[in-house]
Amino acid sequence: MTDVIDTLVGIAPGSKLDAIRANRSEARKHAQTSYSSLFEPADLAGVTADERHAIAAFVAGLHGEPRTDSFYAAKLPAGLRTAVAAEVAAAKSKGPYGRFPKGPLSVEDAPGPSWKTSPAGRKTLGARLPAAFEHTHMLVFHPRDAAAPALQSLLDAGWSTTDIVTISQLVSFLAYQIRVVAGLNTLASTL
C-alpha cells in the first residue's frame, strides 16, 4: 500500500528520510492506518465518503500546505471541489487564537471570530456539511474556544455522537498529517 506521507513528501526508498522514518516504523505504519481507517474504512458508518473527503479538503485548504491541499481536493467531484474551495477562501485565518478559562490566563486571551458557512455554501453543501465545516474551522484555528454547544450544533444538524467522534478524529488527524508533511519537507530541503 502506498504511504500517503511518504508520497506527499516525496520520500524515495533508500533515501535518508526513508531510513529516518524506518526508525519509527510503528508510527509510520499507524499514521497510514489512521488515514485508511478514516478514508477507506471497511464500513463508512454514518459519514459518507464524499463527506469525509469534503471535510478533509476544507481542512487541507485552511492549512494551505500545497501538497496535501491538492491531494485531498483531487478526491472530490468537481462541483463539490468548487464549493469547498469557495468556503476555504472565505474561511482562511491565522491561529491558534481563542479565549482561556476566566482567571489568570485571561490576559493571554486572543479572541476571534466563529466562522459561518456562506449562504451559497449552505445551498450547495447539503444539510449536514455546513455545520461540520463550522466546527472544523474552530478545531483548526481556535480549538480552545470549544464548548459543549458546538457539539450540540452538530447533533442538531443530524450528526450522531459516533459521527462526531469520526469527524473530530478526521480533522485532528489531518492537523497532524499536514504538519508532518510540512515539517519533513522542510527537513528534506536541508539534507
Partner 1 sequence: MTEKTLTPPPHTEPVVFTRDMLDWLPWIEPMAESDMTERHLASLVDASRVKSPYFRLLARDPDVLEARTRTDKDIFYNPEAGLPRAERELAAAATSRLNGCIYCASVHARFAATYSKRVDDVQRLLDEGVGTRLDERWDAIVAASVALTALPIAFGPTHIDRLRKVGLDDAAIADLIGAASFFNWANRLMLSLGEPATQG
Site for partner 1 in 50-89 (CB under 8 A): 62-65
Closer by beta carbon to partner 1, 57 or else 138: 138
Q: Note whether 90 binds partner 1 by CB under 8 A.
A: no
Q: Note whether 2 binds partner 1 by CB under 8 A.
A: no
Question: Please, what is the minimum distance in Å from the beta carbon of residue 1 to partner 1?
Answer: 13
Question: Please, what is the minimum distance in Å from the beta carbon of residue 65 to partner 1?
Answer: 7
CB 62 within 8 A of CB 91: yes
The footprint of partner 1 on residues 7-36 (CB under 8 A) is 16-17, 20-21, 23-27, 29-31, 33-34
Closer by beta carbon to partner 1, 43 or else 119: 43
Question: Please, what is the minimum distance in Å from the beta carbon of residue 82 to partner 1?
Answer: 23
Whose cell is 483531487? That residue is 74
Dihedrals φ, ψ of 81, to 5°? -60, -45
Residue 91's contacts (CB-CB under 8 Å, 6 or more residues apart) are: 58, 62, 115, 133, 137
Closer by beta carbon to partner 1, 78 or else 148: 148
The footprint of partner 1 on residues 145-174 (CB under 8 A) is 146-152, 155-156, 158, 160-162, 164-166, 168-169, 171-173
Q: Is the backbone peptide bond immediately before 96 cis, with ω within 30 degrees of 0? A: yes
CA 140 to chain centre: 7
Q: Note whether 114 binds partner 1 by CB under 8 A.
A: no
Contacting partner 1 (CB under 8 A), which of 102, 111, 119, 127?
102
CA distance 3 to 8: 9
